[in-house]
Every structure is written in structure tokens, then in C-alpha cells.
Structure 1
Amino acid sequence: MINDIHPLVAGVRLRPVTPGDAESLAETLTRSRAYMRRWEPVRPEAFYTPRGQAQRLAGLLADRDAGRAMPWVLADEEDRVVGAMTLASIERGPFRNARLGYWVDVGRAGQGLATAAVGRVCEVARDGLGLHRIEAGTVVDNTASQRVLAKAGFELIGTASRYLHINGAWQDHRMFQRILHDGPPQH
């Protein structure tokens, strides 16, 4: 289930990221750069190049192989990247937790893709990874992302002051969690 391809909506599927996604990621991130600026860290120009994305993917895939992350992309019918989902900081033992990050291409925003993908990632986290809990944070004024999380079953648990350095400043974030199950940790 972790490495499977999951159909979502409107011809888009969720699939594991591959090194071959670097060029498509660079194109989509460049196209969506101005749209996502309010919710992203300031990035160096190299981030928006195929080489920069190849380097970033190498790190993500190393984290995946070490059990610390699970990165996916949202891909359209032509296998072009139109978004991404990542479970990061995966912890085992009694916590069984991960942090969720995601984004959708500016041309696909508002179509239900993020909500469908977040729901599918939660299923994989529970059934494939045996996680108990997922947490996510949004900049306080990112109401669209907060709606995605609410629709996907996340609950607001508070506000973290100056949580992340976003768009050039330390930003307060609304923090959310979704409890996936209450069974004992599976080893």
C-alpha cells in the first residue's frame, strides 16, 4: 500500500516520488511560485531548477529509505506533477507520529485534490505505516489549507507562535492533528 499508486480525482493519482520527477517538479513549482509564496520559506533560485529538485529528491528518498519520511507526488494523466504530499519526521515507538506537508499546483487549487490526497495519505499512514497520529500546521491566514485539514478529519489543537520562517518572517501557525487509531503500537 505504501508504494502503490492511488487514484484520486479528475484523472490525478497519488504515487511515490521518483528521481525522474525532478524536471516536472521544477516546472510546477516555478509556475506556482507566486501563488505559494505566502505559505513557503524563501527559497534559493536553484530550488526551482531540475538540478535543485534532483538534489532535494535525493534527500527525500534517503529519508524514505531510512524510514524517516514518505514522499508522494500528485500526477496527472500525462504523469506531470501537479502537487506533492510528504509525511516527514516519522517517529516509531510509543509516539507513532509524523508531520504532514502538502501543496497543489496553482492551476489545480480548489478542485478537491489536496483533500482527497490528504485522506489517502492518512489511510496509508494508518494501514501501511502503523502510525497513530499525524500533525500538520498552517500559517494562520491560510484558510484554504485549514479547510482541507478539517475535511480530512484533522482537529485544531492550538496556535504555535513564530513556528516557522515563512515568506521571510517567523509566522504563527495553527496546529492540527488527526488520530488514526487507538490500538497499541505494532512493531
Structure 2
Amino acid sequence: MHPEGYTVCRLALDDAAALAAAYDRNREHLKPWEPTRPDAFFTEAGQRETISGRLDQVAQGLYDCWLLWHGHDVVGAANLQNIVRGAMQGADVGYWIDHGHLRRGLGVATLEFLVERAHELNLHRLGGSTNVANLPSQQVLRRCGFQEYGRIPEFLYLDGAWQDSILFNLVLHDGPPRG
């Protein structure tokens, strides 16, 4: 599924140290696209707390969380988040790739993995949003078949300011809800 030397594994509490190191290493790279993070977020203890909360959401069926590994290093994350069942059967995608591993096809491979997971979870649609300035992420979404369908002004508070976002959608099937 991913280029040679990379693996995808479910998020686990034991990943806290490696994930803290990855976030610290990518602090400036991710800063424009993320909310302002307290210093504790970049520590093992902070990641243990974050992961624990996220795993609670996984247990409730609201998230599906994965990490991208290269050897012993976390070099990305992939999530199906805000999973909604019932009539919608949808989720939003979230992903990031380590600045030292860009331009290797990992963004596309990671998003393709999330689309495959969505099929396994019997979802009908996936949504994605990107900051207007995040052209690489928009390109990844388009390469994976997502279609732009709108723009929301001041959608997310990122990097210290309200930012406009571009919205994307991918319909996975047109049959009735499954599962």
C-alpha cells in the first residue's frame, strides 16, 4: 500500500514517545495547518493524554486512527474522523506527512489507504477540507478523486487566526447504506 520501507499501523498508547518526537520534529512544518498547540502537546506525556482521548473516540466509532512509520519513526498520521452513521454514513479525512518524507507519494498513498478503510467501514462519502493556501493537500485530494464543492470563510482557527477552507467530497458508492 505504501512505498517500500513504510508501514501503516493502528494508533496505540505505546506510540506516545514516537508521536511526540514526530510532532516536535514537524512543529514548524505543521504550524500553518494546525491549531496553536501548548508545549505539553509535544511531549510524551502530552501525547499519551491526546492518544488516550482519541482512543476513547475510536472505541465509540467516531474515529479510525493510523500512523505512518518509517523504521522506528512516526512520519505521518491518517484519520477518518467525525464518523457519522445513520442516513449519512460519512467521515472526514485528516492526514499529514513528515517534512523529511515529502514528495515520495506518501500523501496520495495515505489518502488512498483512508479511502480503502472507508470502504471497509461501509461508509458512503468522505469529506476533506484544506486551508486555502495548502495547495499540496488540495492536489493530493484531487489526485485521489475528491471533488471541490465549496469554500467556507473563517472555518478553522489555525496558526493564530481564522482561516478560510476549501471543501472536498468523495462519494464511495451510490447504493443504500451498508452494514
Q: What TM-score, normalized to structure 1?
A: 0.93
Give the SS at the match of 2:100: helix
% identical equivalent positions: 38
**CA shift at 1:112, angstroms?**
0.9
**Is the CA contact (8 Å cut-off) linking 2:78 and 2:96 kept in structure 1?**
yes
Equivalent in 25, 31, 48 of residue 31 of structure 1: 25
Equivalent in 118, 131, 146 of residue 125 of structure 1: 118
**CA shift at 1:146, angstroms?**
0.5
For 1:63 and 1:39, the matched residues in 2 are separated by 22
**Is the CA contact (8 Å cut-off) linking 2:95 and 2:110 kept in structure 1?**
no
1:86 aligned residue: 79
For 2:102 and 2:150, the matched residues in 1 are separated by 26
Equivalent in 96, 99, 113 of residue 106 of structure 1: 99
For 2:123 and 2:142, the matched residues in 1 are separated by 19
4+ long deviations beyond 6 Å: none
Equivalent in 128, 138, 145 of residue 136 of structure 1: 128
Give the SS at the match of 1:118: helix
Q: CA RMSD in A?
A: 0.9
**CA shift at 1:60, angstroms?**
0.9
- Structure 2 residue runs of 5 or longer lacking an equivalent are none
Deviation digits for residues 95-139 of structure 1 (CA, Å, limit 9, x no counterpart):
00101111111101221111101011101111x110000101100
- Structure 1 residue runs of 5 or longer lacking an equivalent are 1-6
Q: Is residue 73 of structure 1 aligned with residue 67 of structure 2?
A: yes
**CA shift at 1:53, angstroms?**
0.6
Q: What TM-score, normalized to structure 2?
A: 0.97
| Segment drifting more, 78-87 vs 51-60 | 78-87
Count of paired positions: 179
Give the SS at the match of 1:176: strand
